[in-house]
Structure 1
Amino acid sequence: MNRRHFLTTSLAAVLAPIAAQEGRVPRIILRSSWQTVNIGDIAHTPGVLALLEKHLPHVEVRLWPSKVDNGVDEMLMKRFPKLIILKKEDLKQAFEECDFLLHGSGPSLVAQNDVVKWSKATGKPYGVYGITVSAQSSTVSNAGAPTTIEVLNGAKFAFFRDSVSLEGVKANGCTCPIMEFGPDGAFATDLRDDEKALAFLKEHNLEEGKFLCCIGRMRNTPYWKMKPGHKFDEAKHKRNEAMKEHDLAPLRQAIIEVVKQTDMKVLLCPEDSSQMEINKENFYDKLPEDVKAKVVWKSTYWLTGEALSTYVRSAGLFGAEMHSPIMCIGNGIPAIVCRWTEQTSKGLMWRDIGLGEWLFNMDEESEIPGIVPAVVAMAKDPAAAKAKALKGQAVVHERQRLTMEIVGKSAQAAVG
């Protein structure tokens, strides 16, 4: 850590509690909650809320969501009973009363237009927490609107969830005063629905610590199957069909080897609402009959609380998704990630937190043979896998602490 950053973060840690006692507490608008068809997209919000609660307990937070339907609003309020969830008619008052806007984690500067709206309407500061930014799109302007780089330049800080994004915006001329690696907010998600999870595990004879979770996905998320009115994308569908065996066969073989070489069972579970079908057609239906006896296919979608209550009782997770592994590592559970170009640079965060051995690039043929041995090793030596997961978790925790100090300092400075 350089001296300037040390002084900045240390001063934040000292001043924020003092200022909170002597004057009005900061009021933050958290712009987040992008969609509810994916437990990972859901997890961004409770993760950042948990970080604010832990590190800045004196701060008042109001959530400005895009989507909190399908039971997500009830889940959030159960975990964060003091949370204010803004509706459209509440925004004018919130703009007047709040001091700082924090853009939450996401695959991009998702609510870029709303950040601009906040800045123009209030003149008040904002910051960005844990996003991926495509170097190709960051300098593109839409009908004269500010580019992503220009919006980031106006932020008090910008934290990027992978180093590729961070280096990319720097190369494209970003001048934000504080730009650093800041883990995806979903690492901090601590939602639970133990009742549903325990009932499912009991029904399917899955014992704690004696099963692995596996998630399959296509190259491109088939939103046309998940969202009413979403237009079918023939090009993406063809790409999915062309690559599905290439991408999913190694994971299917890992399932087979885990069952044959260990006493572990495997749970096939979804991260988004399209993946029950993917898991059945590409994994379960193609398994040998003797292997199927130790594999459980979850046929229904679930919300983040039930999923996380399941993951923390597993011996680990492997697959082609990102946010279930993120939530696992955030809770000290081992997780192996397979990625490809269509998923942007976000998967490379595994290298940033010291888990490069658990990251496999499916676009690099030389890496694919390592998937099965890595999964089997996780199953055969859960203690070693757990130790590795905890090292990654420690890196995340330290970055969360440092980035939240900066959030607190910025929010407190904005109080009039």
Structure 2
Amino acid sequence: MLGMGWTGILMVHVVLVSGWQTVNIGDVAHTPGALRAFQRYAPEAKLTLWARSIDENVRRMLGRYFPDVEIVEDRVVPGEALSPALERLFAEGDLLVHGSGPSLVAQVEVAEWHRRTGKPHGVFGVTVDPLRPYGSTLARAASMISAIDGDLLTEHQREVLDTAAFVYCRDSLTERFLAGQDLGAPTIAFGPDATVMFDVVDDGDGQAVLAEYGLKPGRFLCVVPRLRFTPYHQIRNYPPAAEDVRRTAYNAGYLKSDLDVLRQTVIGWVRATGEPALVVPEMSYAMELAEAEFAGTFPADVADLVHILPRFWDLTEAAAVYRQAGAVVSMECHSPLIALAEGVPSVYLRQPTDTIKGQMYNDLGLPFVELGPGADVAAGQLLRKIADDRPAAAEVARQARDGAQERVRGMVEAAIAAVGSRIR
């Protein structure tokens, strides 16, 4: 409900629907990133988080950095009345913002908001990949998307996007796809994943890791492995369906060759710099993977400088360690963005089974490598370039971050403008 702030400027109540899962620190980072964006660029706005799936650790983190943000966790049940908390939220909120994510994760919630309130809503940096489950390089994906001739949106997706006040796509391939889907949204544009705004970390959160492995600020590499398909049946402990079995077999076919790219990259870094590498997780399954595939596999001249974090960690600890790293090389998409928010150079290694979200690295002017023949050489060259001129690499990262954050400023301004307010 619109009110007046202490400065006399109209205060908008923004409801952010976000918080998709906690087994991936990248999915956790979307939420504080978006909150930070509104906190910085629309300080008069009142913020409420409508959380889809968070745990106690995330609640503590949000309470620590965003103590004034109310959290509502009630869910919409189609065909049933809203809970009292949601009734109040729908009555008092002025704008619903769908947070950054891999898709329109909260399309049911957004559609319910639109039908019940008629108040504006918008999308704050998502990927909508029309090519799934088919994988490819980003260049081939671009040509495929240009060739799409027809409606590839579900009924819910179309309802949410057609009626949105703004749709920001975290990669330009999603923007290209949606621009050809005959949508009524007045703004469909590239807008970075809100993770680039997550810069509220306490250095103390990473001190234990640095001390345990003798890591010196700016003088170590963080390394993030992944499988081609996330083994959710293992993470969530449910019996594998046929598709899970199929994906497990597919993972096995590329496991050695994919992780050898990381292995060779680590070997090159250690030999060139004499500095250690720390293998760390973005997803909860990654440390079992790292222990099984990396432990005991490095040459004698390198082995003592390669460490494997034997546990999962939370977002704040990860960000605090990335902040101190000389570089981050990652097969996961969001660790480089977390590092970017801290101005730390990074290299993204994209697997062809990943979605078109990787296009965001092209859009932000950041280095990435498509896995395939020669990927180990290309990744090694990029890291060597970082190591050979660290000030220049850091400046590239800072410029990319500043450019991304300036785009996010525009996204926030557009969101507030959707309800007729203005920013100081």
Q: Same fold (TM over 0.5)?
A: yes
After superposition, the C-alpha distances for 1:17-69 in whole angstroms (9 at most, x for unaligned) are 99985575211110000000010000000000000000011111111111120
Q: How does 1:143-162 map to 2 (within 5 A)?
A: 146-162=155-171
Q: How does 1:106-121 map to 2 (within 5 A)?
A: 106-121=101-116
Q: What is the identity, as a one-letter code, of the residue corresponding to 2:413? A: E
Indicate if the aligned counterparts of 1:55 and 1:401 stay in contact, CA closer than 8 A: yes
SS in 2 for 1:46: helix
Counterpart-to-counterpart distance in 2, 1:413 and 1:262: 52
1:190 equivalent among 182, 192, 199: 199
SS in 2 for 1:210: coil
Does residue 25 of structure 1 match 2:11? yes
SS in 2 for 1:341: coil
Does residue 235 of structure 1 match 2:221? no
1:172 deviates by 2.2
Counterpart-to-counterpart distance in 2, 1:119 and 1:341: 36
Number of aligned positions between the proteins: 393
Aligned to 1:65: 51
Aligned to 1:265: 276
Indicate if the aligned counterparts of 1:139 and 1:148 stay in contact, CA closer than 8 A: no
Aligned to 1:207: 216
Does residue 315 of structure 1 match 2:310? no
Indicate if the aligned counterparts of 1:27 and 1:411 stay in contact, CA closer than 8 A: no
Q: Normalised by the size of structure 2, how large is the TM-score? A: 0.88
SS in 1 for 2:419: helix
After superposition, the C-alpha distances for 1:145-174 in whole angstroms (9 at most, x for unaligned) are x24233211000000000000001112223
1:175 deviates by 3.0
1:313 deviates by 0.4
Aligned to 1:96: 91
Q: How does 1:219-368 map to 2 (within 5 A)?
A: 219-229=228-238, 231=240, 233-355=244-366, 358-363=367-372, 365=373, 367-368=375-376
Indicate if the aligned counterparts of 1:339 and 1:360 stay in contact, CA closer than 8 A: yes
Indicate if the aligned counterparts of 1:50 and 1:189 stay in contact, CA closer than 8 A: yes
Unpaired segments of 5 or more residues in structure 1? Answer: 1-15
Q: What is the identity, as a one-letter code, of the residue corresponding to 1:203? A: E
Q: What is the identity, as a one-letter code, of the residue corresponding to 1:332? A: G
1:376 deviates by 2.4
Q: What is the identity, as a one-letter code, of the residue corresponding to 2:23? A: V
1:367 deviates by 4.9
Counterpart-to-counterpart distance in 2, 1:47 and 1:230: 34
After superposition, the C-alpha distances for 1:272-321 in whole angstroms (9 at most, x for unaligned) are 10111122222233112331211111001111000000000011100201
* Aligned-residue identity in percent: 33
RMSD: 2.2
Aligned to 1:377: 385
Counterpart-to-counterpart distance in 2, 1:230 and 1:413: 50
Counterpart-to-counterpart distance in 2, 1:323 and 1:222: 18
SS in 2 for 1:228: coil
Distance 1:410 1:338, change over 3 A: same
Counterpart-to-counterpart distance in 1, 2:10 and 2:394: 43
Larger helix proportion of the pair: 1
1:141 deviates by 6.4
Unpaired segments of 5 or more residues in structure 2? Answer: 75-82, 133-149
Aligned to 1:401: 409
Please identify runs of 4+ aligned residues in structure 1 that moved more than 4 A.
Answer: 16-24, 136-142
Q: What is the identity, as a one-letter code, of the residue corresponding to 2:101? A: G
Counterpart-to-counterpart distance in 1, 2:158 and 2:322: 37
Indicate if the aligned counterparts of 2:262 and 2:376 stay in contact, CA closer than 8 A: no
Does residue 80 of structure 1 match 2:50? no
SS in 1 for 2:343: coil
Aligned to 1:4: none
1:118 deviates by 0.7
Q: What is the identity, as a one-letter code, of the residue corresponding to 2:172? A: S
Aligned to 2:397: 389
Q: What is the identity, as a one-letter code, of the residue corresponding to 1:398? A: E
1:413 deviates by 5.5
Indicate if the aligned counterparts of 1:140 and 1:148 stay in contact, CA closer than 8 A: no
1:192 deviates by 2.5
1:135 deviates by 2.3
Aligned to 1:51: 37
1:193 deviates by 4.7
Q: What is the identity, as a one-letter code, of the residue corresponding to 2:386? A: M
After superposition, the C-alpha distances for 1:44-95 in whole angstroms (9 at most, x for unaligned) are 0000000000001111111111112041111101100001001324111111
Indicate if the aligned counterparts of 1:28 and 1:411 stay in contact, CA closer than 8 A: no
Counterpart-to-counterpart distance in 2, 1:208 and 1:338: 24
Q: Normalised by the size of structure 1, how large is the TM-score? A: 0.89
1:197 deviates by 1.2
1:126 equivalent among 115, 121, 125: 121
1:139 deviates by 4.5
SS in 1 for 2:348: strand
Indicate if the aligned counterparts of 1:339 and 1:359 stay in contact, CA closer than 8 A: yes
Q: Which moved more, 1:223-232 or 1:372-381?
A: 223-232
Indicate if the aligned counterparts of 1:26 and 1:59 stay in contact, CA closer than 8 A: yes
1:360 deviates by 0.8
Q: What is the identity, as a one-letter code, of the residue corresponding to 2:317? A: E
Counterpart-to-counterpart distance in 2, 1:47 and 1:18: 25
Counterpart-to-counterpart distance in 2, 1:141 and 1:167: 14
2:181 equivalent among 161, 172, 183: 172
Indicate if the aligned counterparts of 2:3 and 2:12 stay in contact, CA closer than 8 A: no
Q: What is the identity, as a one-letter code, of the residue corresponding to 1:354? A: G
Counterpart-to-counterpart distance in 2, 1:230 and 1:109: 26
